[in-house]
Each structure stands twice: as structure tokens, then as C-alpha cells.
Amino acid sequence: MIIKKGSGFFYLLAGVLFIASCSKKIIPDKPFLSQTNFRLDSLPDSDINIPVQINLKPLYRLAEEFVDTVFTSPNWPEGWVEDGCATRYKYYFRRGPLGLRASGNSFDLDFTGFYKIIGSTRICLGGTILSPWTPPCRCGFAEGERRVNVGFNFKVNILPDYKIINQVTRKEPVALDKCEVCFWGQNITTQVMSGMKAELDLSKQAIEDSFGIIDLRPQVQQLWQLIGASYNLGGLGWLKMNPQHFRLNNFFARNDSLNIFFGLTVKPVVSFERPPDFNTLVPKMAPPALPGGFNLFLDAALNYDSLSQILNTQLKDKRFDLNKGPLKKHAIIKEVRIYGMGNEKLILKIEFSGSAQGVAYLTGRPYYDTGKKEIGLKDVDFDIKTKTAFAKTAEWLFNRRIIREIEEGSRFDLSGYVDTVIHLANSYLNREWIKGIRSAGNLDRLEIIGIYPMTNQLIIRSNAGGYLGIRAESIDFKF
């Protein structure tokens, strides 16, 4: 018979049970493990820090489409703007390409304007008109359009309640060329700049009305619910991230990129049964934290019934023929149950039939060897009540050689499993999610840091660390 590695523990146990043949069913009392200082420590907070880099060039192109290219005085070309009694003018203004400069949380939207003016003057004294308007005089036509630098400054702040505050400042127009009109060579550049500032102030007010305060809380609430939902991992169970709070660690603009450093604190748990979903309100953003990458602590809550089913798929109804003693013995494993009592140990309940029938209990401490990446049982032994029940018929079976073989058979090498998980995770982290948005990351650490045999479930705690970044080359901005 071929014996698979890792199953020797159960085969040897079967041999011990069935050699002790008797006509009476053997049912020892259940083990009682005394309480110790053993407890499940609180799951540490897991930090996920994700730097997001957004290419601002698509935003530049959007601004080019959003900002008008032509500005004129009211009712151009027929209407006039009268500046007091003695001067009137009308102008045509076109802008050049926008220049968007970013630094820190400040954005400058600048452009050079090209304008031409038609003006007239007349003589006034104390508000009394003493002459008719002069014939229209032109500036910026024959000699070329006049130039002026125009722009806005935006300072962006993000509040803990997920509101974005845009403080808009209109820059003072700077005339690069002056305009002299009519017979006296009167410079009306100042008047034109005053009219232009009034137009720019209207634009500033429109920007503030539309984008001065942007409330992102509804969108963040939807994201919060998605993160907090339960996700099916196929045959591996259900994952629940249990988000605690968001953080905005930092954000700044540099050259053509906007860099945003998001943080998320979670307490993830994996379980065989789907956990309930609760609708909770997203809390205000927590203070920023500076560590980079992600550091995840994950509890896998494994139900003992589910673990027992896994064992039974391999052991249930298996027959073992034993040749110890004058009579041949055989045994059949009917059922294996595994459970805990809030102690450091696990309890294995074995129901068997054959030449002998009954129940046996074993205890052992689960462990994980980080150097070997090996999981198994140590300090394995028959429970004292099982020893008592078998003492008269099979006392010779209770020796250290059998226990050593049971411990050896319970070992399982996880190194290949860990390497496979890291490889799959890295393939998943480095991908294009949607057109123009890619993530780049690396899972460089995955290890089990604790095993807790609780009363209702076995908790396996692991820790994973690495880096994840997102680059947005193109975003379909909507306003």
C-alpha cells in the first residue's frame, strides 16, 4: 500500500486504535484542557499606502477646450465702452496657448493675450462736453496686436470631510505693449486693463461657483461600501477587509504630474463562511502617516467543521490491515473531527471500526517554522483519558517512536505554496486596470506569524508586505 507523505499521522493512529481489539466499544471521556494564559491578540492595523501619479497633460488639453479663445468688449464691434466723459473704446482680445504650471498645492493657469483697440476722445470740462468725438483711432492693427499676460492662481486644499476647496486668485494683467490712440497720443492701456480685469473677475467668480467647493463624500462613501463588502475567493473562502479609516498622507504637483499619496487602514479576515455585510458611514480622514508600501496583517478564520470535512475527504472509510500479534487486525476510519478549547492545543477525535471500534483523542500544538516555511503539530500525544481507556489492552503502543512518527507525518512544507502566492500576487499587481491606468507593485514578504486554536475556529495569522503604485497616463476628466 502506498502511503502519502503527510498522512502518516493518521495511518499510525489507526494502527494504534485497531490493535487494541476487544468486543466492547471503546469510548474514552472527552479531553479537558485546563485554561492557560493563551489568548488571541487583537489583529494589528494593516496599512496600505498607495502613491497615485496622474499625468496632467490631459488636463491641459481639457483646459484648452474649456477656456474661451476670444474675449471682446460688450457688443463688439458696434458697441463702445465709455471711460468717463472724455474717452471711449472697444477691443478685440484673443488668447494664446494656455500654460499650466504646478508646484505643491498651487496651480498657475497663464496665457498671453493679443488685443487690438479702437478708441475716440473728446474734450470735457467738469463733466461738460465741449467737443464731438474724434474719428476712431486704431491700435494693434497696422503695427500688430498688442500683448498682455493674463492668468489665475489656484490653491487646492482637501479637508478631512472629503471636501476639496479651490481658492482662486485673479492675477493682475501685465501689459507688454502700450496703446496710444488719437491725436494726443493718449495711452489708454490702463483703461483697457481695467475693463479686462472686470471680465476676468467674472470668470473667476464662475470658476469658484462651479469648482470652489467639490464635495467628494458621496463618491468616497460608495468606495467605502465596496471595500467593506465580502468577496468570494473561490475555493479559498470569503475575504472581508473591514476598513477602519482613510488617510491623505500627502499630495503635490510637480512639472506635468500630480502626486497623491493615499492611505487605508484595514483589518482583513478570511473565513469559510460568508460574513454579514453592514452599511457604515465613512469616518473623517485620519491624520496622515508616512510609511510607504503596504503592510497587511491577515487573519484566516478556519471553521473546525470545514477543516474536519477536508480531513474526511482523505481518511473517511479507509481500511488499514495490521499484522501485530497472533491475530490479524484491521481498522476503518469512520470519521475525523478536529476542534479546540481556547487552549494552545488542537484536539483530534477519531471514530473507528473494524477489529475494534470506538473513539480516540489526541492533542498537539500547531506551529509554523518561519525558516523552513513548514507547518505541523508538535508535542503530539494521546489524551490522558484515551491512555487510560487503552491501558489494559494496548499499553505497549504508547511509546516515543510512534509519537515521533506522528509528528513527522503532520509536517507540511509551505515554501512552494508561498512562492506560488507571491508570483500570482505580483502578476496581479502589475497590470493595466483600464485604458490609461496601470499599477506597478511587488509583494516581497508573506509569512505566517501566529496560529491560534480558538474554541470555535482555528485562526491563522499572516503578514504580507510590499509596494503598490498607480500611474494614470490618461483620465477622462468630466466637469
Tally of domains in the chain: 2
> Are residues 335 and 412 part of one domain?
yes
> Are residues 115 and 48 part of one domain?
no
**Burial group, residue 324, by CB count within 10 angstroms (0-12, 13-18, 19+):** middle
Asked if 280 and 240 count as a contact pair (C-beta separation under 8 A), the reply is no
pLDDT > 90: percent of the chain? 4
The tens digit of pLDDT for each residue in 174-219 reads 888 877 666 556 666 776 777 778 777 877 787 777 777 878 888 8
Write out the residue range of the structural domain in which residue 146 sits. 68-213
Asked if residue 61 belongs to a domain, the reply is no
DSSP assignment of 116-180 equals EEEEEE--EETTEE-SPPPPPEEESSTT--EEEEEEEEEEEEE-TTSEEEEEEEEPPPEESS--E
Q: Please provide residue 185's backbone torsions phi and psi, each rounded to the nearest 5 degrees.
A: 60, 35
> Are residues 316 and 259 part of one domain?
yes
**Which of 329-338, 422-431, 444-453 is the most confident on average?**
444-453
Asked if residue 201 belongs to a domain, the reply is yes
Q: Is the pLDDT of residue 479 over 50?
A: no
Q: Is the pLDDT of residue 460 over 70?
A: yes
Query: In Å, what is the CA distance from 95 to each residue of 112, 154, 160, 332, 457?
Result: 6, 19, 38, 90, 70
Asked if residue 322 belongs to a domain, the reply is yes
Average pLDDT, rounded, for the chain: 78
pLDDT band at 33 (very low <50, low <70, confident <90, very high): confident
Domain boundary among 184, 213, 242: 213
> Are residues 399 and 365 part of one domain?
yes
Asked if residue 349 belongs to a domain, the reply is yes
Span 146-174, average pLDDT: 88
The region, left, alpha or beta by phi > 0 then psi within -120 to 50, assigned to residue 126 is left
Span 259-270, average pLDDT: 86
pLDDT of 284: 92
> Are residues 244 and 126 part of one domain?
no
Span 390-400, average pLDDT: 58
Closest CA to 242 of 44, 82, 98, 94: 44
What single-letter amino acid sits at 355? S
**Burial group, residue 357, by CB count within 10 angstroms (0-12, 13-18, 19+):** buried
Q: Is the pLDDT of residue 17 over 70?
A: no
pLDDT of 331: 66
> Are residues 172 and 266 part of one domain?
no
Tell me the longest C-alpha to C-alpha distance in the chain.
Answer: 142
DSSP state of 285: P
109 compared with 324, residue with greater pLDDT: 109
pLDDT of 181: 62
> Are residues 125 and 33 part of one domain?
no
> Are residues 383 and 287 part of one domain?
yes
Q: How many CB atoms lie within 10 A of CB 192?
A: 27
> Are residues 328 and 196 part of one domain?
no
pTM over cut 0.85:
no
pLDDT of 24: 64
**Which of 138-152, 309-323, 389-403 is the most confident on average?**
138-152
Span 32-41, average pLDDT: 73
Asked if residue 44 belongs to a domain, the reply is yes
> Are residues 140 and 259 part of one domain?
no
The tens digit of pLDDT for each residue in 300-340 reads 888 888 877 877 777 778 766 666 556 676 667 788 888 88
Domain boundary among 189, 213, 237: 213
> Are residues 276 and 413 part of one domain?
yes
Domain boundary among 213, 238, 263: 213
Asked if residue 63 belongs to a domain, the reply is no
> Are residues 141 and 50 part of one domain?
no
Asked if residue 267 belongs to a domain, the reply is yes
